[in-house]
């Protein structure tokens, strides 16, 4: 079992990797526990839930709405939850985003923690204290920062994940390596097949390395005022692709990373050979879907959280393993999107 601590002025968070639910029993209150989960997780892992009131939402991205947050708060108040309530989000990234949001707004904030059950949430979504729901087609537009007291990542729970969701998690696993750690990138590329076949020992060591990267970035910039933005690599295009095509988050991010890498090469920030290296690894791991950039891409990006007065903060690459943040104007982005779409249509 490994532990990573995130200490920040906004609160401390302990990430426990490789433990089981038994390891967190002493961290939970004797009463007033509210377990927020989704129906799939309840079906597969409900027997492991600690004693408490269970609130199960519909699985999937469509549940990430203010209406669902309101419904959960309503169930909590009817069940007698007061300010001493403790929310345990038990599930993947969707559950963590919603449970974190509920915990940060219910009675102006109650204690919370996560049991993280997908590869994507173990390497990314459950760590770092970002919560959020979608506003129509705009992803994570309404949200808060609030660190979970602890996060348990029981890797054995990943064995029940559907193949597509495992692949989706590989997208965010790769992302951490591509922005910060070239050796990890090569190690993930070499082990992708073993992870997909369910080798949890291999997965555990790579999850630990990726989680350390994320925790390190969050520790230095918990409220995303600067460097934490590098964790958004691939997400500006990825969010548009995810919303337009309704594909899993990590697969949309993988496609978004290739577009952002193209943009990096187009801007002269990165050598073309690095783009080929990155794209090849994502393709070999089966992460690249054939989705084109939708027509509304520039309009949606200009309304994204990362956009400010006519330009957008973009995460680009200098090389695989080294990300940088650059401001790009909307007009330059329009030029790039025309170039990219033209190139893609010629390669079909």
Which residues of this chain interact with ligand NAD, rule CB under 6 A? Answer: 38, 40-41, 44, 59-61, 64, 91-95, 97, 117-118, 120-121, 124-125, 128, 130, 140, 157, 160-161, 165, 168, 248-250
Instruction: Indicate the residue among 175 and 209 with the shorter CB distance to ligand NAD.
Output: 175
Among residues 168 and 264, whose Cβ is nearest to ligand NAD? Answer: 168
C-alpha gyration radius of the chain? 20
Query: Where are the strands (E) in the chain, listed by range?
Result: 2-8, 11-17, 33-38, 53-57, 86-91, 111-116, 133-135, 138-142, 150-153, 307-308, 311-319, 322-329
* 151/171 Cα distance (integer angstroms): 21
127 by DSSP, 3-state: which? coil
Closest separation in Å from C-beta 172 to ligand NAD = 6
User: Of 86, 75, 159, 87, which Cα lies nearest the Cα of 122?
Assistant: 159
Measured from the CB atom, the residue of 144 and 191 that comes closer to ligand NAD is: 144
CB 343, min distance to ligand NAD, A: 28
Least distance from ligand NAD to the Cβ atom of residue 248, Å: 6
Cβ proximity to ligand NAD, 59 vs 261, nearer residue: 59
Cα–Cα distance measured from residue 128 to residue 144, given in angstroms and rounded to the nearest whole number: 11
Closest to ligand NAD by CB, 118 vs 147, is 118
Backbone angles phi, psi at 118, to 5 degrees: -115, 160
| β-bridge partners, 133 | 142
Q: What is the DSSP letter of 122?
A: I
Nearer to ligand NAD (CB atom), residue 18 or residue 248: 248
Considering the complex, what minimum distance in angstroms separates the CB of residue 100 from ligand NAD? Answer: 7
Smallest distance from ligand NAD to CB 43, Å: 8
56's tokens: 């199960």
**Which of 39, 38, 31, 36 is closest to 81 using CA atoms?**
31
Closest distance to ligand NAD from the beta carbon of 187 (Å): 21
Q: Which residue, 218 or 281, has its beta carbon nearer to ligand NAD?
A: 218
Torsion-angle region of residue 24: left (phi > 0), alpha (psi -120 to 50) or beta?
alpha
Q: What minimum distance in Å lies between the beta carbon of 273 and ligand NAD? A: 29
**H-type alpha helices, 221-248:** 235-245
Closest chain position to ligand NAD (CB): 93
């Amino acid at each position: 079992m490994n532990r990573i601590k995130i200490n920040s002025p906004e609160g401390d968070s302990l990430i426990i990797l490789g433990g089981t639910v038994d390891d967190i029993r002493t961290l939970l209150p004797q009463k007033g526990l509210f377990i927020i989960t989704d129906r799939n997780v309840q079906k597969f892992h409900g027997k492991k839930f600690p004693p408490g009131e269970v609130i199960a939402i519909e699985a999937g991205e469509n549940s990430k709405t203010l209406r669902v947050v309101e419904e959960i708060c309503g169930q909590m108040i009817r069940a007698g939850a007061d300010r001493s309530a403790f929310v345990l989000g038990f599930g993947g990234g969707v559950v963590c985003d919603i449970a974190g949001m509920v915990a940060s707004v219910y009675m102006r904030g109650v204690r919370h923690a996560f049991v993280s059950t997908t590869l994507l949430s173990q390497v990314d979504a459950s760590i770092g204290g970002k919560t959020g729901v979608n506003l129509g087609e705009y992803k994570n537009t309404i949200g808060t920062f609030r660190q979970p007291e602890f996060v348990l990542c029981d890797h054995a729970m990943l064995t029940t994940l559907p193949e597509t969701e495992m692949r989706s998690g590989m997208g965010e696993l790769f992302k951490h390596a591509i922005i910060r750690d070239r050796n990890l990138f090569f190690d993930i590329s070499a082990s992708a097949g073993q992870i997909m076949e369910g080798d949890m020992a291999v997965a555990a060591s790579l999850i630990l390395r990726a989680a350390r990267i994320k925790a390190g970035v969050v520790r230095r910039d918990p409220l995303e005022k600067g460097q934490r933005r590098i964790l958004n690599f691939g997400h500006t295009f990825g969010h548009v692709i995810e919303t337009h095509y309704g594909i899993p988050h990590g697969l949309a991010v993988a496609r978004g990373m290739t577009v952002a890498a193209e943009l990096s090469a187009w801007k002269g920030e990165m050598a073309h050979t690095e783009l080929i290296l990155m794209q090849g690894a994502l393709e070999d791991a089966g992460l690249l879907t054939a989705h084109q950039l939708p027509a509304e891409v520039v309009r949606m990006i200009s309304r994204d959280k990362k956009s400010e007065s006519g330009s957008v903060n973009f995460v680009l690459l200098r090389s695989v393993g080294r990300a940088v943040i650059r401001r790009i104007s909307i007009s330059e982005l329009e030029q790039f999107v025309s170039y990219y779409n033209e190139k893609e249509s010629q390669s079909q």
